[in-house]
Amino acid sequence: MSRDVDGDSTPAAPKGSDVAVPEIRAVSILNALGSLDWLIPDDLINDTRLTHWTKHSVRGRTIAHLIVAVFLMSVMCALGQGVMYYKMTDSPDLRLSISLLYTFCVVFALASLLTFKYVHRSAALLSNSYAGFSFIMTLGIHALTGLSMTSPVVPLYFFIPAWAFLSCSVRAGICWTLIIAGLFVAISAIEPLQLPFPQIIPAEALPLNRLMCALTAIVLTGFCLYAHQTSFLALTDQLDEDRSLFEHKAQHDALTGLANREQYDLRLQSALDQVNRGRGQAGLIYIDLNDFKLVNDTHGHQAGDRVLQIVAQRIEALVRDTDTTARLGGDEFGIVLPQLENMDSVSRILRELDRSLSEPMRVSDLTLEISGSIGVALAPDHGRDAVSLTRHADREMYKSKVRRSNTGLSRVV
């Protein structure tokens, strides 16, 4: 907790909280692929969420970078493969078919990337486009290498459904599975007809081509699994952080960051349970700001909110790590002091609270002086249950307010 209570910083989370605002953590693979930003939509690169919740944005950018990188690598490999197949045949018709196939696939890939960049930033659309690119490319080569189940390119088909399942969606994965299955059925029906499909790969080069295509399918599928696992772990981390954030919000006051009444009641009951088991004493301090309404009426609610934040920070700076400070509503605060060994610590906190709350506080261009009425109750001296202890502390606070009714006015200096 910062002790610069009159600054404009937002109060930190209460002591004892396990929740922290996530730090901006760069993903190593994102840094390695940062040169691909020119193909990533600007609104994804300049996502304003990077100033707060970075995990989700970094994860989305990383997935986009990975898909774009795979797309570009596939295009470059396709160009090299096209040149190789072009040189394997002397037939003008086959060379024209190869040229048209690879030209179409490259144009399709570039159109998909530009659509992702300027029209639609959906990574699912880009993933499906890559699946379509792979299918068209594989089917075209398959047709040029006999269109039979013994073709070297057959293993490449199995990568497409895996890619769709892992990077698109379950629906896309099922659709591509059905498409590939239907294609295999069609090829099995056509193959006995022995139609005159070309075979541009020489017989002596077929074993090597089969090996290369099988290895390519394995590497691409392994890459999909790796990317999916990385994405899954990032999503798990994000869900854990979101769950912690929601739990923190459910237990703490949004304005001051202190515990709310629900959390305060739980901590008070826990402290009393310790007392009732014979483990020391517990204390309860009630604080009510004097004439806080005057601050709101005179200087506005924004100034009043800032006063509450400063008061919360000053209280938090005085209590122990094991104590619980809560905003109970409006301008009322409560402090639970568990496991007290003697009254010395309570007396010290009361003296420092009275002094700290009376010190001038800077709010924008105003200097305000405000005091607080304080009531204290001890367990088991003033009760062993929350109701009795709260009633006693409230009465003591009211007596303090009556005594200080003429000395606790807020004013502008």
**Least confident piece of the model among 16-25, 30-39, 126-135:** 16-25
- The helix (run of H) or strand (run of E) holding residue 330 is none
Rounded CA separation 44/170 (Å): 24
The pLDDT tens digits of the residues spanning 77-91 come to: 888 888 888 888 888
> Which alpha helices (H) appear in 252-316, and where do they start and end?
261-276, 292-299, 301-316
Closest CA to 100 of 143, 155, 158: 143
Give the pLDDT of residue 245: 72
Give the pLDDT of residue 22: 36
Rounded CA separation 350/335 (Å): 11
The residue with tokens 């930033």 is: 121
- Above 70 in pLDDT, residue 13? no
- Band (46; pLDDT cuts 50, 70, 90): low
The pLDDT tens digits of the residues spanning 257-300 come to: 899 988 999 999 999 999 988 878 899 999 999 888 888 888 88
For the record, the structure tokens of 365 come out as: 């261009």
CA distances to 42, 313, 341, 359, 395 from 353, in Å: 51, 11, 20, 10, 18
- Above 80 in pLDDT, residue 378? yes
Cβ neighbour number for residue 194 with a 10 Å cutoff: 8
- One-letter amino acid at 385 equals D
Q: Is the Cα dihedral 6, 307, 19, 279 positive or negative?
A: positive
Helix/strand/coil for 37 = helix
The pLDDT tens digits of the residues spanning 315-348 come to: 999 998 899 999 998 899 999 999 887 778 888 8
Rounded CA separation 192/105 (Å): 29
Mean local confidence (pLDDT), 112-133? 83
Helix/strand/coil for 408 = coil
CB 392, CB 283: distance < 8 Å: no
Mean local confidence (pLDDT), 154-178? 89
Strand partners, 412: 368
Mean confidence (pLDDT) of the chain: 80
Cβ neighbour number for residue 333 with a 10 Å cutoff: 27
Rounded CA separation 286/325 (Å): 10
Cβ neighbour number for residue 158 with a 10 Å cutoff: 16
- Above 80 in pLDDT, residue 53? no
Give the pLDDT of residue 60: 58
The residue with tokens 């994804």 is: 44
If one compares 103 and 239, the residue with the highest pLDDT of the two is 103
Strand partners, 361: 368
Cβ neighbour number for residue 255 with a 10 Å cutoff: 14
For the record, the structure tokens of 78 come out as: 């396709």
